[in-house]
Structure 1
Amino acid sequence: MSDTTENKATDSVDEISAVIASLGARRIPDGGEGVERIARLALEASGRPLEIDWLSTDGMGEGLPEAVPLLIDRRQGGKISTLRDEIERYRINPERRKGTARVTTLRAFVELVNRHKDDGSAVFARTEWPGPGLTAVIDYHTLDNAPRHGEHRIYYPYPVTQEFEAWINNNGKGLSQADFAEFLEERAPDLAEPTEIEIDKYTKLFKTRVASPNEVFDLARGLSVRVDMKVANHVKIQSGESQLVFNEQHTNDKGEPIVVPGLFILQVPAFIDGEAVRIPVRLRYRVKGGDIMWAYALYQWEQVLRERVKLDLEQVEFDTKLPVFEGTPEARA
């Protein structure tokens, strides 16, 4: 090839790049004029017979342009390739919004949803334990059933408080007297006075008296000073509570009985920055050979949390004016 030919080819290649760059600075070439100009310059630069043809997408389903450009190389037996990759190199802005934003408060969830939502957006809620959370699908399918990608999402996983996590971790677990007494003393601030409605409801349901926080704290202190003592006797009294009588370790004299309430009320925020929930807690113990093991059971606590999430979902519906659903959205397209 002569110097003149080489220079001409080099100039043409430079012109191709300049044309593509200038097109990219304004828009991606989406019609025949821009694409054919690129192909024509490429032909001049290489001397190879390249052609642009347009393939109709009629009958291929929704979401496609009317036709797509193809590059045909006659020198290679009519090899066909697309121009998409070359065009995408010069895209200035993303093709569409996608990705999942993860927020840490319900307020942030609402504010971010309101920032990005459109008429087709929707909110889904997982209300069951474990893993309750809210997911907003910004580009959800439209109201007239037009499909969309569902790739732009906002997710709020409910963060559990340390206080409630401590109660969950020991729920139903057998504890020694020392460990149980220590746990009750540490968690005393989480206890609440029962309301008249709660007293009436749970007294009838469990046939036992509902204890006040002071009574539970007295139990914890009474147990802590009798850690090394054996249980001499344990009986259930008329109120539904239990009485424990301990033997003094060295003298074997019977001490004063300790009253064990059958139930008390827990009041803690289950989720960070959330409202407090109230959960009945049943006390249980097992005596064997003078030794005693303690346990407690959070009554229907999963249902209490579910109701808390459902209340939040109603608030989200009001604040965002979007449809809300219990469940999970379809997998991403």
Structure 2
Amino acid sequence: MGQQVTSIPSGAEGIKELVALAHQARGVEIVNLIAPPGLEGVPEAIPVAIHHGTTPALNSVASLFEAYRDHPRRKTGTARALTLTSFIDLVNRHKTADSAVFADTNWEKPGFQAVIDYHGLNAIVEEPSSLAGETAIGTPANLKHRVAYEFPLSNEWKAWTQAHGEWMEQGRFAEFIRDHLAELAAPFDPERIAIEREFETTVASPADLIRLSRGLQVHVESAVKQAVTLESGEGQISWEETHKDHDGKPLKVPGAFLLTVAPFFGGEPVRMPVSLRYRAGGGKVVWSILLYRPDTFVTERVRDDLNRVAKETMLPTFEGSPET
């Protein structure tokens, strides 16, 4: 059976039919679409598919390849470190010449955030003559790849801050001191002199607090006979019962002691004065501890950690937050 041949009329009718057949032709042509001059931050050309036929269309070719991608186009997301050392190691693993570290130094909720793909600083141009100096021109970046460290609080620090300003009965306070002996420190002479001048009282050593806690345990069920403040600033308490402390004398209560505790999990400790107070009344004694300016000591610790980050990552650091 032979091939069927379509005949085309001559003249004007033939031309119309040829045009109609051309419009019905189907096919896809891939061409490069050139970016107009002055359009920054985009490729010079992008591949597009032109669909011919009765309903022509222009489509991106890139979307067809995305389903077959072997790896992401760029690094995105935020890694969260649990220790400062891990934060530094992660930053060093991913950093570029343009990376930067931002720090929130709020003592109640501090945090570090490294922006790996931060804006570049790759050229310096002179200002117009009407403006003095030079201006840095950098390459904008995505700011989508980050490493964060949120300074998780240590259990020891939580215990002391929860006890801060709270009045505790004698037995509970004695147990608290006993349970946290490991966080007590003996003051150095300059510290002792400064604390005694600030608090106008004596400063207890860890051994003094051990003796105090043991003496308090003896008198948990005893009625207070007398509580006085001595000229030294320390207190003195005696009970109705014949036995007193292990020396058979009224207990002497120092007005302050030194605490050494790491505010953050896996972090470095701070040394902080603590004021010790008590109230006697109705035959009972209640106790309270007051951390001395914890905001100052914690903020100093955070800034020391920021200096460590700058030194070990060799990146610029800023107190503040990134743009997005």
Shorter-normalised TM-score: what interval? Answer: 0.7 to 0.9
Which residue does the alignment assign to 2:10? none
Unaligned stretches of 5+ residues in structure 1: 1-45, 250-254
> How far did 1:104 drift?
2.9
Aligned residues: 281
Describe the shift of the 1:185–1:100 C-alpha distance in structure 2 as closer, same or farther (beyond 3 A): same
Larger relative helix fraction: 1
Which residue does the alignment assign to 2:321? 328
SS at 1:322 equivalent: coil
User: Given residue 82 of structure 2, which amino acid in structure 1 is its aligned partner?
Assistant: T
**Is 2:228 the counterpart of 1:235?**
yes
Give 1:116-195 correspondences, 5 Å limit.
Answer: 116-143=94-121, 144-195=137-188
In structure 2, C-alpha distance between the alignment counterparts of 1:59 and 1:288, rounded to whole Å: 86
Which residue does the alignment assign to 2:300? 307
Higher mean alpha-carbon deviation, 56-65 vs 239-248, is at 56-65
> How far did 1:154 drift?
1.6
**Is 2:75 the counterpart of 1:82?**
no
User: Given residue 97 of structure 2, which amino acid in structure 1 is its aligned partner?
Assistant: D
> How far did 1:136 drift?
1.4
In structure 1, C-alpha distance between the alignment counterparts of 2:54 and 2:169, rounded to whole Å: 82
Which residue does the alignment assign to 1:197? 190
Higher mean alpha-carbon deviation, 176-185 vs 304-313, is at 304-313
Which residue does the alignment assign to 2:87? 109
SS at 1:128 equivalent: coil
Which residue does the alignment assign to 2:128? none
Matching residue within 250, 263, 283 for 2:256? 263
**Is 2:199 the counterpart of 1:206?**
yes
Which residue does the alignment assign to 1:294? 287
Q: Determine what percentage of the aligned residue pairs are the same residue.
A: 43
**Aligned-pair Cα RMSD in Å:** 2.6
> How far did 1:213 drift?
1.1
In structure 2, C-alpha distance between the alignment counterparts of 1:234 and 1:60, rounded to whole Å: 84
Question: What is the TM-score normalised by the length of structure 1?
Answer: 0.76
Question: What is the TM-score normalised by the length of structure 2?
Answer: 0.77
SS at 2:272 equivalent: strand
SS at 2:204 equivalent: coil
> How far did 1:160 drift?
3.0
> How far did 1:211 drift?
1.1
Unaligned stretches of 5+ residues in structure 2: 1-23, 122-136, 243-247
Higher mean alpha-carbon deviation, 287-296 vs 258-267, is at 287-296
User: Given residue 264 of structure 1, which amino acid in structure 2 is its aligned partner?
Assistant: F
User: Given residue 124 of structure 1, which amino acid in structure 2 is its aligned partner?
Assistant: F
Larger Rg: 1 or 2? 2
